[in-house]
Amino acid sequence: MSANTAISRRVRRPRARRVPLAIAVVALILVAIFVLAAAAPWIAPFDPTRQTLVMRLKPPGTMTAAGQIYLFGTDDLGRDLLSRVLFGAQISLAVATLSVLVSTLVGVTLGMIAAWSRGSVEVIVMRSVDIMLSIPAVLLAVLTVAVLGPGFFKLILVLGLTRWPRYTRVAFGQTLQIATLPYVKAAELAGAGTARILFRHVLPNIAGPLLVVATAEFGLMILFEAGLSFLGLGIQPPAPSWGSIMSVGRQYVERAWWIVTFPGGCLFLLVLSVNVLGDWLRDRLDPQARVR
Partner 1 sequence: MLRYVAGRLLQAVIAVFGVLTIVFVVMRFSGDPTLLLVPEGASQDYIDALRTQLGFDRPVIVQYLDYLRSLAHLDFGVSVVQRIPAIDIVAARIPHTVLLAAGALFVAIGIGVPVGVAMAVWRGGLMERLLAALVLTGQSMPTFLSGIFLILVFGVMLGWLPTSGADDFKALILPSIALGALSMSTFARMARISIVDELAKDYVRAGRARGLSLPGIVWRHVLRNAAIPLITIAALEIGNLLAGAVIVETVFAWPGIGQLAIQSIQSRDFLVVQVIVLLISFAYVITSLLADVAYAVIDPRIRLAR
Residues that bind partner 1 (CB under 8 A): 130-132, 134-140, 142-144, 146-149, 219, 223, 226-227, 230-233, 243, 246, 249-250, 253-254, 257, 260-261, 264, 267-268, 271-272, 275-276, 290, 292
Q: Which is nearer to partner 1, 121 or 137 (CB)?
A: 137
Q: Measured between alpha carbons, how far is 228 from 253 in angstroms, rounded to an integer?
A: 20
Q: Do 108 and 210 meet the contact criterion of CB atoms below 8 Å apart?
A: yes
Nearest to 249 by CA among 119, 75, 117, 121: 75
Q: Which is nearer to partner 1, 106 or 132 (CB)?
A: 132
Q: How far is the CB of 277 from partner 1 (least distance, A)?
A: 12
Q: How far is the CB of 221 from partner 1 (least distance, A)?
A: 12
Q: Measured between alpha carbons, how far is 194 from 179 in angstroms, rounded to an integer?
A: 11
Q: Which is nearer to partner 1, 186 or 269 (CB)?
A: 269
Q: How far is the CB of 159 from partner 1 (least distance, A)?
A: 14
Q: How far is the CB of 161 from partner 1 (least distance, A)?
A: 10
Q: Measured between alpha carbons, how far is 256 from 245 in angstroms, rounded to an integer?
A: 12
Q: Do 213 and 167 meet the contact criterion of CB atoms below 8 Å apart?
A: yes
Q: Which is nearer to partner 1, 209 or 219 (CB)?
A: 219
Q: Which is nearer to partner 1, 150 or 204 (CB)?
A: 150
Q: What separation in angstroms does the CA of 215 have from each of 29, 252, 263, 266?
A: 15, 34, 22, 18
* 149 phi and psi angles, rounded to 5 deg: 90, 160
Q: How far is the CB of 252 from partner 1 (least distance, A)?
A: 11
Q: How far is the CB of 256 from partner 1 (least distance, A)?
A: 11
Residue environment code for 251-263, b if the CB has 16+ CB neighbours within 10 A, otherwise e: ebeeebebbbbbb
Q: Which is nearer to partner 1, 62 or 261 (CB)?
A: 261
